[in-house]
Structure 1
Amino acid sequence: MPLESIRTLVKADLESTDRFIISQLESNIPLIRQIIEYVLTCGGKRVRPMVLLLSARALAENVQKHVALAAVIELIHTATLLHDDVVDSSTLRRGHKTAHTIWGSDASVLVGDFLYSRAFQVVVDLKHQPILDIFAKATHYIAEGEILQLVNCNNPDTTEDFYFEIIQRKTAKLFEIAAQLGALLSTESDRDIIAMRDYGLHLGLAYQLIDDALDYGLSVEQTGKNVGQDLAEGKTTLPLIHAMRKSKGADLAMLREAIATGSSENLATILGIIESTNAIKYTADAARHHAQKAKSALSHLALTPYRRALEELSDFVVERTY
């Protein structure tokens, strides 16, 4: 099922979420409005809020507070994008110029902070202690993931285990709490809440694995970001880890040197090494493994259209090309 069909199932909720986001971002400071408007209209897929909305509705037809929490998830995601693009010096995201290349790094970081603080205000206003606890721990955990990635930049000795620790913190955690909070709004069943939490975790891992595979597999027109951008940023992602494991001699030396210096100088040769070592297939297979684990986590739940959509979302995540 394409993403549009999945989105249709929670179309009204997503529209309410967008309206709620806009209502929460009122500010009499024009710069804040300009940057947020720009980032929110640059073609985000809204996958994370969709996960929360589908999870909530898969366990109960009538739910409250789900729109506010879906908005919170998107606000946090948008804040991390603003911060990430500054840290990574990225010039393109979703085929558009990144905010910091237009307004500068200082403005991007500060508007990201504004979004974070607004998200916390919304959660506090819900007056729901378990939700606040999960949210507070998760944002701390996500920030740690970003810092772990930063200190590990330009390290060709990154292990596969360490790579998974980074992506679990930096990407999968937000998917995990989106699904977990959706469940928490709908049920008191620990079994169902844990099932949704596990679904979100594995979906998030699959999502990041495919992102990392796409970085070496497709053109800027297809992905909306520069090919080999991870390499230029010194990020040792799974395609590179696998390619190094399968290489020796001059090829291995070239890969290690490129990571250590963050250089795309030999990108064409490096792409050839990645292809010849089946590193993209290895990464995509790992993504499929986690997508299957995401689906399996839902196996005991009632087979509603919302559960089916969650399963189909895990298929979309591994089949996507953007």
Structure 2
Amino acid sequence: MLAMPTTGFQAMGPGGPSLFVPTQQPGIPTLETITYQHIHETSSKRISTLDYLRKAHEGRVYWFNTLLFNKPDLQRMPSFDPRKLARRATNYLLLGLSLPTALELNGVNAVEYLKTWNALFTEFEAFQQTHPDGSTLSRGRFPQMFKRATVTASKGRRSSAASEIGLPMGNDHSDSKSTNGSVSAGSSNQVTLFPTSENDLLPGEEYTHLLTPSLPFDPDFYETFATLCDVLIDCYTRLMELVSSPRECNPVVAEMFTKADARVRKLIIQGVVKEFEESSRSGVKSEVAGVGKVVLGGLM
């Protein structure tokens, strides 16, 4: 006679025991595990989206398998007015310069990293609202120096966001003014010197993390946007490295990540996606109308 298993219970049928139902229940994931999975899955999605947007601007992919936008096509978009592009390129450049410096200096753990991320994007949004005409081209808060910064994860793709984004790199200087206006000691790090501007930011307008140097020229929008995408990809990659296990996750990290990711979607991704969607719809309609004329022309 076979021995019955000791785990579970037997369901009684009309003819006696007929079904064995196990009592062991699958483990319920903890809040930390759920937060960890959410951060990694969302970060991976943002990295893919940013990479896709960069390739779309470079004319390397068909927008959702419909149309291929090359540079002349992009320039015909209503939102790609030269004056608007210059303003957007300036804003993107300032954000791209600020992200590596601020996050690398405050990237000891996920909490400080996300706290700085949110603070920087809050300042960036306030700057855009204060200077809607891109007036930072002629005025700057930093007539001093900007230290060259490199995101840790960017070594394989772009060695330096500051150099790749289009600003000239200066030589080492033994006595240079720091970002708060004081004189700093000599440093072996390579620095960037910006032209001095007599006009500063508006009275009372100060930023802790956002760099706002005077720019001697309008940056190229396409190169600037591609580099900004690289910098943001590196930011999400670095965040996943800091959140390496559920132990680093807690409700504070979850809340700050949600806010930081929402700001990236609002200030960078949503506007670009909307532009491509509108242009792709009108482009597809034109293509279908053209095909219809060819087909009907041959039948009539």
Q: When the two structures are superposed, what TM-score results if normalisation uses the length of structure 1?
A: 0.21
> Which has the bigger relative contact order, CA under 8 A and spacing at least 6?
2
Q: When the two structures are superposed, what TM-score results if normalisation uses the length of structure 2?
A: 0.23
Computing the radius of gyration from Cα coordinates, the structure with the larger value is 2
